Amino acid sequence: MIDRIDTSARMSKIVKHNGVAHLCGQVGDGASVAEQTRECLSRVDALLIKAGSSREQMLQAVIWLADMADFAEMNEVWDAWVPAGHAPARACGEAKLARAELKVEIIVTAAY
pTM for the model stands at 0.96
pLDDT in tens, 87-106: 999 999 999 999 999 999 99
Question: Which class is domain 2-111?
Answer: alpha beta
Give domain limits for the chain. Answer: 2-111
Q: What is the mean pLDDT of each run of 10 residues along the chain (112 residues)?
A: 97 98 98 98 98 98 98 98 98 98 98 98
How many CA atoms does the CB half-sphere of 89 hold within 13 Å? 5
